[in-house]
């Protein structure tokens, strides 16, 4: 088993927690987590990659073990989270890396790629949207309404997503055998989201999510012109980002590799070995 180190770095005055494993001179892969979790979601994947790759998995500000300033102390946007992630990677001296993105990690990863396209060696998206395709209307209608008109009429529907039942649903929906998903996952995430003031952090990011959509045409152009290799490995039963979101990458990425797996949003919890197998095969081919 490869050792995983648990570290922090100060970026723009904030402590950013990250997990690190593998040899420093190996090809780098950066793992970017989604809502409502943290690098904890990669705890079992990292050792499966670290024999061949230098793996970095940070916690976004406001998540996991990174600092979580209140909304009055920090303006939470996906632009701001990207700047902190970029600052961490710069501090670690990483100028060439593959990206593995999931959920919120996707818009952060897309910004990194657009800011420094020369740094991206490959992209792996696991239920991380980069197209209008795949947004499941039953989930996103409330988010779009809240972003367009924040207030007492639209907030309750999205605030409900902070509850333990909603977080548990994100983990078990679409999973053929929910007993494979440890309750530690949603209880861990719920405890962190429930910290004083963190609800307003999450609501700020819900409001900002609509600002990711204008980036998509720029991402598509990057995929077409860069020729960066893309792997989309997706829980086909995800009721947040549907499988159309995975298939869409084949429109712009040359020879995109797409796999739809019989799982849900947090595919690593139920199909770790499947995802790791596709990932190692893909990285072995495109990174050598």
Q: Which two tokens stand for residue 96?
A: 């060439």
High-pLDDT (> 90) share of the chain, % = 99
39 within 8 A of 19, measured Cβ to Cβ: yes
**204-236, pLDDT tens digit by residue?**
999 999 999 999 999 999 999 999 999 999 999
Length of the chain in residues, anyone?
A: 288
pLDDT at 1 over 90: no
Considering the four listed CATH numbers 1.10.10.350, 1.10.645.10, 3.90.1150.10, 3.40.50.1820, the one that applies to the domain covering 4-287 is 3.40.50.1820
Give the other-Cβ count within 10 Å of 165's Cβ.
Answer: 10
Task: Give the start-to-end residue ranges of the domains of the chain.
Answer: 4-287
Average pLDDT over the chain, rounded to an integer? 97
173 carries an active-site annotation: no
Q: Which two tokens stand for residue 5?
A: 């180190």
Query: What pLDDT does 150 receive?
Result: 98
Q: Which residues is 56 bridged to in the sheet?
A: 20, 30
Burial of 50 (0-12, 13-18, 19+ CB in 10 A): buried
pLDDT at 14 over 90: yes
17 vs 288: which has the higher pLDDT: 17
pTM over 0.85: yes
**133-166, pLDDT tens digit by residue?**
999 999 999 999 999 999 999 999 999 999 999 9
Helices 183-193 and 164-172 pack at an angle, to 10 degrees, of 140
The catalytic position among 33, 54, 60, 265 is 265
Query: What pLDDT does 288 receive?
Result: 74
Pairing of strands 54-58, 28-32: parallel
Cis peptide before 83 (omega within 30 of 0): no
């Amino acid at each position: 088993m490869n050792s995983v180190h648990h570290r922090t770095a100060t970026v723009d005055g904030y402590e950013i927690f990250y997990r690190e494993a593998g040899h420093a001179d190996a090809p780098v892969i950066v793992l970017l987590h989604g809502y409502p979790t943290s690098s904890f979601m990669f705890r079992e994947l990292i050792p499966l990659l670290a024999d061949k790759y230098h793996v970095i998995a940070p916690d976004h500000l406001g998540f996991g073990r990174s600092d979580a300033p209140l909304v009055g102390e920090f303006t939470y946007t996906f632009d701001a989270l990207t700047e902190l992630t970029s600052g961490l990677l710069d501090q670690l001296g990483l100028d060439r890396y593959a990206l593995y993105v999931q959920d919120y990690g996707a818009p952060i990863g897309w910004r990194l790629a657009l800011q420094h396209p020369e740094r991206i060696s490959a992209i792996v998206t696991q239920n991380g949207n980069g197209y209008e395709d795949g947004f499941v209307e039953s989930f996103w209608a409330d988010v779009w309404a809240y972003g367009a008109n924040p207030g007492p009429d639209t907030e309750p529907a999205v605030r409900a997503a902070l509850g333990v039942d909603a977080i548990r649903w994100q983990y078990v929906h679409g999973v053929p055998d929910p007993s494979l998903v440890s309750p530690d996952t949603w209880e861990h995430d719920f405890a962190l989201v429930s910290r004083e003031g963190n609800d307003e952090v999450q609501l700020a990011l819900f409001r900002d999510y609509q600002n990711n959509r204008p980036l998509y045409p720029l991402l598509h152009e990057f995929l077409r012109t860069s020729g960066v290799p893309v792997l989309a490995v997706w829980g086909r039963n995800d009721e947040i980002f549907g499988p159309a979101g995975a298939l869409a990458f084949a429109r712009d990425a040359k020879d995109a590799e797409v796999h739809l797996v019989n799982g849900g949003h947090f595919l690593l919890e139920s199909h770790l070995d499947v995802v790791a197998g596709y990932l190692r095969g893909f990285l072995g081919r495109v990174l050598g």
